[in-house]
Each structure stands twice: as C-alpha cells, then as structure tokens.
Amino acid sequence: MLFKSSKISAVVEWGTLLISTVLVCFFLVVVIWEIVSKGAGQLSWDFITKVPSAGMTKGGILTPIIGTVMLTILTALFAIPFGVCCAIYLNEYAEDNWLTRTIRASIRNLSGVPSIIYGLFGLALFVQALQLGTSLLAAGLTLGLLSLPYIITTTEEALMRIPNSTREAALAVGATKFETIKDVVLPSAMPGILTGVVLTLSRAAGETAPILFTGAAFYINNSNGYLNQEFMALPYHLYMLSTQHQSIEEVRPIAYGTALVLIIVVFFMNLTAFYIRFKYRKSATEM
Amino acid sequence: MKYKTRLSLDILFKIVFKGTGLLVLALLGGILAMLVYNSFSFFMDVKPLDFITGMEWSPTAAIPKYGMLPLVLSTTLVTFGAMFIAIPLGIGTAAYIAEYASPRVKNLLKPAIEMLAAVPSVVIGFLGIVVLSPGIADLADLSNGLNALNGAILLAVMALPTIITIAEDAIHAVPKTYKEASYAMGATKWQTLRKIIIPAAAPGIIAAVMLGVGRAIGETMTVLMATGNASILPTSMFDSVKTMTATIAIEMGEVPYQTTHYFALYAIATVLFLMTLAANMLGEYFINRFRKYHAV
Amino acid sequence: MKTKLSARNLNISFGTKQVLKNIDIQFVENEITALIGPSGCGKSTLLRSFNRMHDLSPDAKITGTLQLEDLDLYAKSVPVTQIRKRIGMVFQKANPFPKSIYENIAYGLRINNLPCDKSIVEKALREAFLWEEVKNDLKMPATRLSGGQQQRLCIARAVALRPEVILMDEPCSALDPVSTLKIEELIIYLKKKYTIVIVTHNMQQAQRIADKTVFLYLGEIKEEGPTHKIFDSPENEMTANYIHGQFG
C-alpha cells in the first residue's frame, strides 16, 4: 500500500508541474490564436499598402508601417555604433577599476529603467532641450537610448567568447590593438553581435511608451516619414484604435489586423535572430 | 599604411571607445538629474508629506490633490496579483523544464517561452481588452472587465518568461551531486526537487522573482489599456485602478509645461524609478549569491 | 657565432610576485635553443619578454636590457609592431585567425606593408611544409585544418614576415606524436634561415632538435650549454634531478 500511494503522489506531483507548463503554453497559444484568427481576415495587399482613410475606419495601415520601419532604422543607426563601441571599450580596454565598475553598474541599472521613464527623458532632452520637437528623430533617438544597454550587453558577451589566443596571434604578427579588434575580433564576433542587435531592434519596434510623448500621432497629413515631423507607428496605432477611437467597435477588425502585422514583424525579426544564432553555434562547433 | 598613421588610428579609437563608456554614465546621470530636478520643483509647491501620505490623486480638480498613495497602491496591487499567479506557474514550469522534460520537449518549450517574451506589451494589453475583459465581466457580473484583476493576469503573462528563464537556469545549475546524494538515500524525484533542489536554487529563484517584479512595476501599456484607469484607492481586485506608469502615460500628454501637475508626474516617475531600482538591485544581489554559491 | 638575441640583468615581476631573477642569456644566430624546466619556472615569461607580449599585462614590471643584436627592444623610440615583425611567435595551442588559409598569411604581410601575392603566400606555405596539403583550396577556413596543419599554418604565418628570430612556446604540446615529428623536422629545416628559441616540456624533443639547452628553475638560470652536455653530464645537481624525472 505504501508503494501504491507513493506512486500516485509521484504522478500527482509531476502532473502539477506539467499543468503549470501547459498553462504557460496555453497563454502563448491564446495570444497567437486570437490575433491570427481575427486578424488574418484583414490582411490583404491593400491593407499594407494603403494609407488609413475616413478617420481610420477604412483603408490600410501603410503609414504606421512606414513609421515603424523608420523608427527601427533610426534606433539602429544610433544604438549600434554607440553600443558596440562601448562594449569594445569594456571588454578590450577597460581595466578593473572603480570607473569600469561604475559604468557596468550603470548599464545594468539602465536596462531595468521602465520604458516610460525613457519616454520622459526623451521628451526632456530631445523634444524640449535640443528643440527637435515631437518628431520621428526625437522618438528614434529615444528608442536608441532605450536599446543601448541591451546592445552593449549582448555585444560584450559576443566579444568575450573570442579566445584571447586569437588576439595574441594578431599582436604577434605586428598588428596594433585597434587593428586586432577591427580585423580579427569583430569579424568573428559578428554573428553574436548581430543576434543581439536584431533581438533588441525587434523589442524597439514593439515599444509604445517611449514614443507616446516624443512624436507618435494618430493622424498625420502625409505618409512620407519626414524626420522632423510627427509620425504614425504600429504599436501606437493599435493602442489608439483599441482605446481612443470614437467608434471602437467599428475599427476593431482593423485593430486586429494591426496587431497581427505587428506580431508578424516582431516574430519575423526574432526568428531571424534565432537563425543567426543557430548557424553561428553550428559553425562554432565545427572548429 | 604608414606606421605613424596606424599608431594615430590606434590612439584615436582608444579615445572614441572610452568616450562611449563615459556616454553611458552621462545617460544615467541625465535621467537621474531630470528626475531629481523636476521632483525638487514639485516639492517647492507641494509638501513631501502630503505627497507621500495623500490618499487622493486629482490634479485637475478645483483644489488639486497630489497624493501618491492611490497610484502606488494600484501598482502594488496589480503587481502582487501578477506575482501571485506568475510565481507558482513560473517556478513550476521552470522545474518541469529543468527536471522532467525530455530534450525534444525542451527544444520546443524554450523557444516558445522566448516567443511569449517577444510579444509587444501593447498587443497583450489589446488582448486584455478584447478577450479578458468580456470574460471577467461575465464571470463577476460587472459592466466591464477593465480592472486590477485584468491587469494582474496580463502582467503575469508578461513576467512569466523572465521568471521561467532565470529560475530554470538556477535549477539547472544545481550540482548533480546533490541530486545523486538525495536519490541514493531513497528520496523520490519530487522529494528531491522540493527539499534539495529548489532550496539550493533559492537565490537564483528569488532573483528571477525580483526581476519579474521589476518588470511588472515598470510596465506601462498593458496596465494602461486593461485596468480602467480610475485614480481611486483600490479596495478589491475588481476595482478599476490607475498605476503609476499609466498615470504618467495618460496625463503627460495633456499637462501644460512646467506646471505643478507637470512636476508632480516627475515625482511619480521618481518613485517608480526607485521602486524598480530596488527590485532590480535585490535581483542582482541574489544573482551574485547564486553565482558565488556555484563557484564552489 | 654571432649573438642574435640577448638579455642582461633581466628581472620580471607581476605585482608582488617575482617571476624572473637576474637573467643573463644569449641566443646565437641560426641555432635552436631549448628552454626547459618545471612548470612555473618562468620559461614562457622569458620567451614572451622578447617580443614584448607583456605589454598586455598592466601589472608587469620589467627591468634589465633585452636586445636584438644592437637594438634595445624596450626603448621608447622603437615601435613594438616593428619588433614583432622581426621577432615572430608560435603559440602553444595553434591560433590561426578565423579567416581563410590565404588570408591568415596575407594579413600579417598587409599590415606590415610587405608585398603580398599568391607567390609569396605559396612560398611561406612551402617553407612550413604545408603547401602540398592545402594548395587546392586556399580559401578554406583555417579552422577546418587538423591541429598539426593549423600549427604549421601558424609557422607559415610567422615566416611569411621574414623575421630574424622565431620564438616557440611549446608548439607541439597539443599535438599527436606524428604531427609533432613533422613539426620538429620543420624546425630543424628552419634554423638555416632563422634563430629559434623553443620552450618545451618534452626533454626528448629538446635532445632531438636543440643545439643549446637552458635549464630554468624558480625564475633563475641554473645551467646552460650544448644540449648533449646538459643531458649527458649536467654540472648542476638540480639539472640532473630534473632530467632524471625526479621532479617537475
């Protein structure tokens, strides 16, 4: 009898854990199912190539798509050079002193700062102090700041994986430290760096809070994405369609469509990052 | 390239690289300065005590009230609710993945959880409106389902990937020798898990929870869309609540520049910053203990 | 019997730990000199001081004179990249660049402003006894070569720069016996053109290839001389004990 009850309790215990796991997967399934099933009907060539019209109740979402694409490009332009250079400094040059430790602690803290506070900072610095006004540029720079800690961290990890013997080899043939980094270390770390960059950018593409006060608008007059003007973006569009629109019920289908496009964009970028990581691991094990 | 040029480039780039490190410091310094400066401006107009203990937040009323308690309590309520759901589910899932799942299942689960983490917060908030809200309204017989419970469930979904990933790392890192010793004494898998592995992984698990809490406190869009945004002192999970993040998001867009209300929002932001800082530093402290522990 | 490389009064410490004490040594041109001794005796440290690899360690303190013929290696006016072109190094574990075989050799040539084309690369690979094995696919990533081939590639990379001295830090310790013999053959062939200093843990190797042998213990040179004399009739008791395997 003792054996039987312990067997039953073993199953119960395993079952409890399994149920947790199943529930978590259930959440993912619900998210995807709900958006895909109700949004797929919206997807059409027109939907992604036409601008919104009739107060957002008709037309497509081309303008928000352009806005999100441009934001992501701006984020990349700002965050990648600064982030990679900072990671190079930390991993290749910095000695273990208080300054380095402070910089590292700052990066860890910055990555925990809520995105809305980055929005406030972007408002204060880019929109107001630097007088860029609410614009694509201000919002892009704000997202760039938000992304900086992640790019620094992932790039540093990629650089750390390059063994020191490779650096010594370059120095031994007479390369300067900069040449060693430029010609040998960076190229080998590139897949790891790229993975981090793509993942960070996919996060930035889905962010709403930092662009709330720095330039996102619900309706603008043209869809050409001027740097110094307000813009539309997919996450903001979804937010407004589902909470602020006059006829929320009427635009609900468009909201679903927007959500689906946003998820597709984000998942696609994530899959790209997975693919890069996978290929990189494969070639690393071949060494 | 001539040697002199190579040397100059070497020195130039060393300066550039170091400069970006200092830029990071400047960024954190800038954020801190912004928060401090504006909060100080606020405390010129409103007494700190009134702010910290005030139970009413109505900055646009005839006599404006700037009490932070309704907002802080709303955030706390929603976060607690989220953790109530996410901690058992998160640790349970992490334990399942680390101890029970076959490699094939693991290779499906881990990407699935990363996918869940990748869903933008605005999409989760949207689902709170279209799926959860009617659901909760039906179950609890309310006019609408935009309340703290809704927000808590959504925040749990957002915090779960963080908790699961870090907790699973912690459980996975427990040395095999502990498990083997336990089994050798005749303990079952579950007993080993509960009495040996989880306690050994405790620092890492606590870190996971702290970082999940930090995420939940700082989340904006989800709560903005799903909790109803009524700035009253919450009394139950079915009340409409307005978190600190939602307050800033909603009111900042409409507030005139450099008025008391404007500064008040920065004061809220400072409290928010301090709370997430505390959660994250606790998380880091435990991660360090977890690492030191396994350096043995 | 010209002295190519020399050290006088050399003392090296890392922080508070002194690793080399009062080293006086000369390496003769076109000879192979082996540095032997138990782990931690300072042989690698001595080797690396000649091509200034200790520049990478901020806590390294070096006093004394190190010279390549008449050139003071640590003089401020001497560019370190020049020194490393004239004194090449082969490391314990082969460390080819993560590039193609061709690029591994071309890179050093290019940054040192030396002429670089297929014939020069071929010459370097021939000198390293590697050409026949890789001539059909120079674009292949160097990391796909076997351990022994990678090490020969690293040797080719070093000789392509036409150095005067080649420093080798236990180049065969990570290789199987067959590869080891191939490389030993290569080293003997190379001594015609280069001065070679090799650190080795393998005493049979020292006896097989070295003209002179230097025995280090706890940071000091205990004995040095022609290889056969060191191994057949060592003067120092410590040397004898080490050779007979009583420690190290």
* Beta bridge partner(s), residue C217: C220
A1 confidence band (pLDDT: 50, 70, 90): very low
Question: Which domain CATH number covers B119?
Answer: 1.10.3720.10
Distance CA C173, CA B16 (A): 40
- Contact in structure between C39 and C248 (CB atoms under 8 Å): yes
Chains that contact B by 3+ CB pairs under 8 Å?
A: A, C
Whether the predicted pLDDT of B296 surpasses 60: no
User: Do B259 and B115 lie in a common domain?
Assistant: yes
CB contact set of A53 (below 8 Å; sequence gap of 6+): A59
- Please count the other Cβ atoms lying within 10 Å of the Cβ belonging to residue C31: 16
Span A11-29, pLDDT tens digits:
777 788 888 888 888 899 9
pLDDT score for C34: 95
pLDDT score for B294: 59
Span A145-174, pLDDT tens digits:
999 999 999 999 999 999 999 999 999 999
The C-alpha R_g of chain C, in whole angstroms, comes to 18
Structure pTM? Answer: 0.88
Chain B interface includes C113 (CB < 8 A): yes
Q: Poorest-confidence range of A243-252, B105-114, B121-130, C182-191? A: A243-252
Tokens 């000789």: give the residue: C159
User: Do B178 and B213 lie in a common domain?
Assistant: yes
Chain A interface includes B131 (CB < 8 A): yes
User: Do B38 and B174 lie in a common domain?
Assistant: no
Rounded to the nearest angstrom, the minimum Cα separation between A256 and chain B is 9
Whether the predicted pLDDT of B61 surpasses 90: no
Q: Are strands C3-14 and C32-36 parallel, antiparallel or unpaired?
A: unpaired
Nearest CA in chain B to A16: B92
- Contact in structure between C124 and C105 (CB atoms under 8 Å): yes
- Token pair, residue B231, equals 């700035």
Contacts of B96 in chain A (CB under 8 A): 17-18, 20-21
Whether the predicted pLDDT of A287 surpasses 60: no
**Domain housing B17:** 1-44
User: Do B141 and B39 lie in a common domain?
Assistant: no
User: Do B73 and B201 lie in a common domain?
Assistant: yes
Average pLDDT rounded to a whole number, residues B80-107: 90
Chain A interface includes C98 (CB < 8 A): yes
Chain C interface includes A169 (CB < 8 A): yes
Is B21's CB within 8 Å of A86's CB? yes
Whether the predicted pLDDT of B27 surpasses 50: yes
Amino acid making up residue C212: K
Rounded to the nearest angstrom, the minimum Cα separation between A169 and chain C is 6
- Contact in structure between A127 and A216 (CB atoms under 8 Å): no
User: Do B73 and B4 lie in a common domain?
Assistant: no
Of B96, B105, B289, B296, the closest CA to residue B193 belongs to B96
CB contact set of A136 (below 8 Å; sequence gap of 6+): A67, A70, A71, A74, A215, A225, A226, A227, A228, A229, A230, A231
* CA atoms within a 13 Å half-sphere pointing along the CA-CB vector of B21: 24
User: Do B79 and B143 lie in a common domain?
Assistant: yes
Nearest CA in chain C to B7: C79
Say which CATH topology domain A46-286 has: MetI-like fold (1.10.3720)
pLDDT score for A245: 77
Contacts of B2 in chain C (CB under 8 A): 113
Distance CA A116, CA A208 (A): 9
Question: Of B13, B28, B44, which residue is a domain's last?
Answer: B44
- Please count the other Cβ atoms lying within 10 Å of the Cβ belonging to residue A222: 9
A5 confidence band (pLDDT: 50, 70, 90): low
User: Do B35 and B114 lie in a common domain?
Assistant: no
Span B205-262, pLDDT tens digits:
999 999 999 999 999 999 999 998 888 888 888 889 999 999 999 999 888 888 899 9
Is C158's CB within 8 Å of A188's CB? no
User: Do B171 and B138 lie in a common domain?
Assistant: yes
User: Do B160 and B234 lie in a common domain?
Assistant: yes
pLDDT score for C77: 87
Is A208's CB within 8 Å of B220's CB? yes
- Contact in structure between C32 and C56 (CB atoms under 8 Å): no
The chain-wide mean pLDDT, for chain B, equals 89
The SS3 of residue A101 is helix
pLDDT score for A225: 66
pLDDT score for B196: 84
User: Do B277 and B240 lie in a common domain?
Assistant: yes
**Percentage of chain C with pLDDT > 70?**
100
Average pLDDT rounded to a whole number, residues C26-55: 92
Is A184's CB within 8 Å of C98's CB? yes
* Beta bridge partner(s), residue A52: A59
- Structural domain boundaries in chain A: 2-39, 46-286
The chain-wide mean pLDDT, for chain C, equals 92
Structurally, chain B folds into a number of domains equal to 2
Q: Compute the 3-state secondary structure of chain C and give helix, strand, coil in percent, each to the nearest 5.
A: 40, 30, 35
User: How far from chain centre, in Å, is Cα C1?
Assistant: 20
- Token pair, residue A172, equals 């031994």
User: Do B146 and B273 lie in a common domain?
Assistant: yes
Average pLDDT rounded to a whole number, residues A104-131: 92
The chain-wide mean pLDDT, for chain A, equals 87
Q: Is C208 exposed, middle or buried (0-12, 13-18, 19+ CB in 10 A)?
A: middle
Distance CA A265, CA C18 (A): 59
Distance CA B249, CA B241 (A): 14
